[in-house]
Amino acid sequence: RLIMKILVINGPNLNLLGTREPDIYGSLTYDGLCSDLVEFGKSLDVEISTFQSNIEGELINAIHKAYFDKLDGIIINPGAYTHYSIAIMDALKSITVPTVEVHISNIHQREEFRHISYPAKACVGQICGLGTDGYKMAIRFLSKKI
């Protein structure tokens, strides 16, 4: 009996998990991550759906759709859009769905330009540097908050 619905949105290049810079992002594939999150969600009575795009406008459309579909929460890893997408920040500010930003790497220990997050300004929290476990922490947080 699933009582809550959360959308996990992943931005550019996250479809390459497992092959893209495994020293930073690990060896788990994107499909493996999605499967793990769906199973983890079931253990908390949370229905997890996932969406990934390399296109900024498609990420914004997914944010809008989550609102209109009356989902209970969003977890977003905007990828490189984190550091310059005012449009994604505005989309998140325009809706009332609680959102947590997640990053696999610690963006604050990387290049200076990665220290800035525009979407975080519209999120209830940010988890970074804890690998893919950060997504599970965000699911657990939202399941308790909502």
> Is there a catalytic annotation at residue 30?
no
Is residue 25 annotated as part of the catalytic site, yes or no?
Answer: yes
Kindly state the tokens that stand for 23.
């020293």
Q: How far is Cα 36 from Cα 53, in angstroms, rounded to an integer? A: 19
Q: Which residues contact 14 (CB under 8 A, 6 or more apart)?
A: 30, 52, 77, 79
Which residue is catalytic, options 30, 64, 84, 103? 103
Helices (H) and strands (E) in the chain, counts: 5, 5
Catalytic pick among 25, 30, 81, 135: 25
Q: Which residues are catalytic?
A: 25, 103
